[in-house]
Amino acid sequence: MYELYNSIPEPWKTLLKDKTSKLNIISTKLQAQPYIPSQDLIFKALIIPPQEIKVIIIGQDPYPNPLHACGPAFSVPASVKNLPPSLRNIFKELHSDLGILNTIGDLSPWQSQGVLLLNRVLTTSPNTSLAHDTLNWQEVTDEIINIILPYDPVAILWGSKATLLSSNFSPEKTIISSHPSPLSARHSFFGSKPFSRTNQILIQSNKQPINWQT
């Protein structure tokens, strides 16, 4: 395994140069254990240059199913037919909100329009959630967030771990609810209309709204 830093796409690699030592420490720890997603996918959320990011959706950590974890938060490979419960609930709310019926869980069409799908922790152990919560990935992902703040993105924060970051974003551009997981979606996620609200904010900011179809 080569250093994690070397797998970061530009221009993010240059922007995150100060985190090289931290990433080397994480690399060393990962070498001693199985982990997901594979190294070439860990930073796949960063395929968008920071100046093109209009929206950020913050997740917790990768799906524990090795067939699901693919880098960007909440996304799965297009080949996955049985979607994870959280993603099914996201699509259920999308259908309720905008009438869009998505069945493909690959969210790269969202990314291509400037939606950053960022997990706070970028790896985990196969079949175990939050196994790498103590690897200090947050130091790296918090810096990613700091880099995009000058571009004033709409922030969609689902669940308590994401909501901890709410003070970083413009209050009028922050959408908060419970997490879309089956354990919490009923509290405030369903009916929160995050997709239409995001597009309203983007239009008011003279930015192109997101086509949420996958």
Per the annotation, the verdict on 61 as an active-site residue is yes
- Residues (pLDDT < 50) of the chain are 1
pLDDT score of 1: 43
CATH number, domain 4-204: 3.40.470.10
pLDDT digits (tens, 9 = 90+) for 91-116: 999 999 999 999 999 999 999 999 99
Inter-residue contact 139 to 19 (CB < 8 Å):
yes
pLDDT digits (tens, 9 = 90+) for 166-190: 999 999 999 999 999 999 999 999 9
**Do the strands 55-59 and 115-119 form a parallel or antiparallel pair, or are they unpaired?**
parallel
Please state, in angstroms and rounded to a whole number, the distance separating the CA atoms of residues 212 and 120.
22
Residue ranges per structural domain of the chain: 4-204
Beta-bridged to residue 124, according to DSSP, are 36
- Whether omega before 9 lies within 30 degrees of 0, making that bond cis, reads no
pLDDT score of 77: 98
Question: What is the reported pTM?
Answer: 0.96
Query: Which of 18, 40, 61, 97 is the catalytic position?
Result: 61
